[in-house]
């Protein structure tokens, strides 16, 4: 990625940042790129598994056809993630949670790095790679405690097959997650969109809801996205470089 000049934070944004009460932050894969997590599309290197593009192996169709293969793919990714640490962008957002009266953190990421940085009550729109869910009783389990003797782990409560508690392509978001985020978007006065290509819906509609409800919309991304023209400010840079500037 070419060297990117760190953008200047405007006086307007500094004032709004100092006075904001209700802040909403939406993050995508880019916020974890500096921790070593591959992004799906722009900027970082994209992901292919055993010759299959990520949106095939991570799909509802593959889950129905070959559950062991889907577990193998998520176990591989969990293995990669286990060694990775939050970066200054995650740390800045966790710190903001102590600064603002109300900060809502909504993420499309399944990597758990926001929580590892200390963020609480994270709305995980696409689930978490650290959890499994039962097909039968829907109970959730810690993926780190699962046994893969037969390739498919079973539920500790009912013995049913478990699946990754991640939203796969072709699936609906977890009940209530989007609604909770959309409600906060309607009442926030400052909305940050950090490290997302803003092409996957309904997640990408959250900043649109915030903007049309009158929030000041700020994008942080080294590249322009379809959302950039709607934003009040676009800070073109890496999240780990840009976010700490707001606290200075
Ligand atoms: N800081 C900020 N942004 C970055 C950085 C960085 N260091 N590095 C890359 N980016 C930006 C890229 O320019 C790109 O716009 O992050 C964005 C990553 O986009 P995607 O890979 O499309 O990830 P995301 O928007 O989170 O994808 C949405 O799609 O594949 C599904 O379920 C998956 O949650 C994911 C969803």
Residue 65 forms beta bridges with which residues?
Answer: none
Q: Is the pLDDT of residue 142 over 90?
A: yes
pLDDT higher than threshold 70 for residue 1: no
44: CB partners within 8 A, 6+ apart = 1, 29, 30, 33, 38
Please tell me the distance from the alpha carbon of residue 183 to that of residue 181, in angstroms, as a whole number.
5
6 C-alpha to ligand 1 centroid (Å): 19
Of 170, 197, 220, 226, the one to substitute when testing ligand 1's pocket (max ligand atoms within 8 A of C-beta) is 197
Tell the residue nearest (CA) to atom 23 of ligand 1.
29
Check: CB of residue 180 under 8 Å from CB of residue 154.
Answer: no
Query: For ligand 1, atom 26, which residue shows the shortest CA distance?
Result: 28
CA dihedral over 205, 210, 216, 218, signed as positive or negative: negative
Q: What is the Å distance from ligand 1's center to 25 Cα?
A: 14
- Residue 56's H or E segment, with its range, is helix 54-57
pLDDT in tens, 9-24: 999 999 999 999 999 9
Q: Which residue minimizes the CA distance to atom 36 of ligand 1?
A: 200
**What are the strands, taking DSSP E only, across the chain?**
22-27, 48-49, 52-53, 102-107, 123-124, 127-134, 140-142, 162-166, 190-194, 216-220, 233-235
Q: Which residues neighbour 3 within 8 Å (Cβ) at sequence distance 6 or greater?
A: none
Residue that is written with structure tokens 């290509």 in the block: 197
Q: Which of 90, 95, 114, 126 is catalytic?
A: 126
Known catalytic membership, residue 126: yes
CA of 33 to the centre of ligand 1 (A): 8
Pocket of ligand 1 (CB under 6 A): 28-30, 33-34, 39-44, 108, 126, 195-197, 200, 220-223, 225, 238-239
Q: In the predicted model, is pLDDT for residue 44 greater than 70? A: no
pLDDT at 181: 98
pLDDT at 74 over 50: yes
Is residue 86 scored above 50 in pLDDT? yes
The mean pLDDT of 109-131, rounded to a whole number, is: 97
């Amino acid at each position: 990625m070419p060297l990117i000049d760190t953008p200047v934070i405007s006086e307007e944004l500094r004032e709004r940042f100092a006075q904001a009460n209700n802040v909403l932050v939406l993050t995508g894969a880019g916020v974890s790129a500096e921790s070593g997590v591959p992004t799906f599309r722009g900027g970082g290197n994209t992901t292919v598994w055993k010759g299959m593009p990520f949106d095939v192996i991570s799909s509802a169709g593959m889950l129905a056809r070959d559950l062991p293969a889907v577990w193998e793919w998520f176990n591989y990714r969990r293995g990669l993630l286990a060694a990775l640490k939050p970066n200054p962008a995650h740390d800045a957002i966790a710190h903001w949670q102590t600064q603002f009266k109300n900060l809502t953190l909504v993420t499309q990421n399944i990597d758990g790095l926001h929580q590892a940085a200390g963020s609480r009550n994270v709305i995980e729109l696409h689930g978490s790679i650290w959890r499994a869910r039962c097909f039968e009783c829907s109970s959730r389990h810690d993926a780190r405690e699962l046994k893969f003797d037969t390739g498919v782990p079973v539920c500790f409560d009912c013995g049913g097959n478990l699946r990754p508690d991640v939203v796969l392509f072709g699936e609906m978001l977890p009940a209530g997650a989007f609604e909770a985020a959309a409600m906060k978007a309607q009442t926030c006065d400052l909305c940050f969109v950090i490290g997302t290509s803003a092409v996957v819906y309904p997640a990408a509609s959250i900043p649109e809801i915030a903007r049309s409800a009158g929030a000041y919309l700020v994008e942080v991304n080294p590249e322009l996205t379809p959302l950039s023209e709607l934003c009040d400010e676009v800070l073109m840079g890496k999240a780990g470089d840009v976010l700490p500037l707001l606290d200075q």
